[in-house]
Amino acid sequence: MTRSALLFGIACAMLFLQACSKESGDYNRELIPVLQNGKAGYVDTKGAFVIAPQFEAASVFSNGLARVRDKGKYGFIDDKGKPVIPPTYKYASIFSEGMAVVVRENNPPEYINAKGEVLFAVKNAQRAGVFSEGLAPVQIKAKWGFVDAKGELAIPAQYRGAMFFSDGMAPIIDERRKWGFIDKTGKTVIAPAFDAVGNFRDGLCSAFDGKNYGFIDKTGAFVIPARYQHAFDFTEGYGRVRLDNKYGFIDTKGGVKVAPQYDVLSGMYGGLASFKTGDSTGFIDADGMVVIPRQFQVATPFIGDIALVMKDKKIGLIDRKGAFVVQPTFDGFDMSYMLTLEGALRGFLDYSVIPTDLFNPDDLAEILVRDCSGEKFHGLDAASTYADITKIASVLPQPVAGVSTLEAMEDVPLTPEARQARSVYTFTDSPLTSPGATLTGVQLDIRLLGPAIGKQSQVVDALKKAFVKIGLAMSEEGPDRATFTGPKLRIVAEGTPKRLMISVTFTR
């Protein structure tokens, strides 16, 4: 792994840690996955290899097992390195609450126990997550819900998006792309009103009101005003915030604990937090005093009395005074470890969401025909404006004076990899310079990946049935192309082995 790749991966991981962790106390802090000569193995806190480097990838140990990858497949080992569940899975999460979600080739997500026994499968799920507080998020036909430990759909799939349960509440997204919270019965306890949220910690949760971040309580009210560029959930009573492009800490009342001054800042763990200014990293204590001067290229949070650091392009272990317990000798550490490390220190573990490897053309067709009629496509028609489109897609801010097209990205989970689809919207005039500009057409460019490759004929056939079912007239133009017409629109669907194009023209 190159230094630039490692630094980039760690930077990304630090930004997304709070979206990638869940409550659990069963985490082995004594075995650390490191990379040596391109292979992953495990060392103890003195730097001695306990499990020799032999894997393509290796995760933290949770529930007594670690996920490893060998020859492109995932399996699980015990803390002696003995294979417990053979590497036969295309995708796999780590264990949480006694279960892991796995996917075999050309199969849907399955939940297994620590013996590798299949407990249940979610056959129609496009994605499935690990368990948190007795429930696991699943995506079915582009909607998210939750299954219980018996595999029953405890909360119906009805949300545009969902995260994991923490402190009895889970964030969900409604059709307006607003975040709110539900309880474990599925009851809405905080109405969707936010553009982004974190997880509740110390009774508070970071939330974005569309302009700034602040912190809300369990009623959904901002108790720390939204005034920050970014905010992360509290750890040990310290909330990490960004103001004027610098990071610092506040307390649960909003008072400044450490003034924003750092380019990068971790959460506070065991009374220490790593910080970065310029190209080097050090550590501060709970009072904001520098206790380990800047000298490392990269540093993880402390695991008890040990932290991993990079110096001179090698990874070593330091103690709480900054002295090397193990000199920098390792090539790197596995990025899955970084994604779970900070969460595990909070009493949380990996929030894995696993894609299916089973492609169903009928499910894709149902998603694409949803909210369509002879006059509307996904709720849009010839009278739709720029504002209407921003409600259904994450629009890229590209239109300028004289330009009458608008690009956007829509989250269409059409393949096992759940890639996004590129959309192009055409207007009567530039939507930014002419507020009255209305829609003339939509073009949706969808990539077919994984098991969906080469299935374009099945997809077009499924679209034929779906569009005719809602009352559109059809004109067949071969196995991979068809035209559908309604009173106020015309739709052309055309497939290639790796792509599906849908072109919609509105008539007035």
Please give the backbone phi and psi of residue 257, each rounded to the nearest 5 degrees, phi first: -95, -45
Domains of the chain in sequence order: 3-355 (2.140.10), 361-506 (no CATH)
Handedness of CA 17, 158, 127, 447 (dihedral sign): negative
Q: Do 384 and 438 form a contact (C-beta atoms < 8 A)?
A: yes
In this structure, of 42-56, 108-122, 442-456, the range with the lowest mean pLDDT score is: 442-456
| CA-derived radius of gyration, the chain | 25
The average pLDDT across 92-117 equals 94
Instruction: Give me the residues paired with residue 67 across strands.
Output: 76
State residue 335's pLDDT score: 61
Strand order in the sheet with 205-208: 196-197, 205-208, 213-216, 222-228
Q: Which of 274, 299, 268, 304 is nearest to 286 (CA)?
A: 268
List, for residues 198-212, the tens digit of each pLDDT value. Answer: 988 888 999 999 899
Task: Provide the percentage of residues in the chain whose pLDDT is more than 70.
Answer: 84
Q: Do 440 and 505 form a contact (C-beta atoms < 8 A)?
A: yes
Q: What is the DSSP letter of 351?
A: -
Dmax over Cα atoms in the chain, in whole Å?
A: 75
State residue 412's pLDDT score: 46
- pTM of the shown model: 0.80
In this predicted structure, the answer to whether residue 411 has a pLDDT above a threshold of 70 is: no
List, for residues 223-278, the tens digit of each pLDDT value. Answer: 999 999 999 989 899 999 999 999 999 999 999 999 999 999 999 988 999 999 99
Count of beta carbons in the 10 Å neighbourhood of residue 373? 16
List, for residues 50-62, the tens digit of each pLDDT value. Answer: 999 999 999 888 8
- Per-residue three-class SS string for 291-319: EEEEEECEECCCECCEEEEEECCEEEEEC
List, for residues 420-439, the tens digit of each pLDDT value. Answer: 467 788 888 776 667 678 88
Average pLDDT over the chain, rounded to whole? Answer: 84
In this predicted structure, the answer to whether residue 154 has a pLDDT above a threshold of 80 is: yes
Handedness of CA 340, 237, 303, 10 (dihedral sign): positive
List, for residues 333-374, the tens digit of each pLDDT value. Answer: 766 565 555 555 555 444 478 888 888 888 888 888 888 999
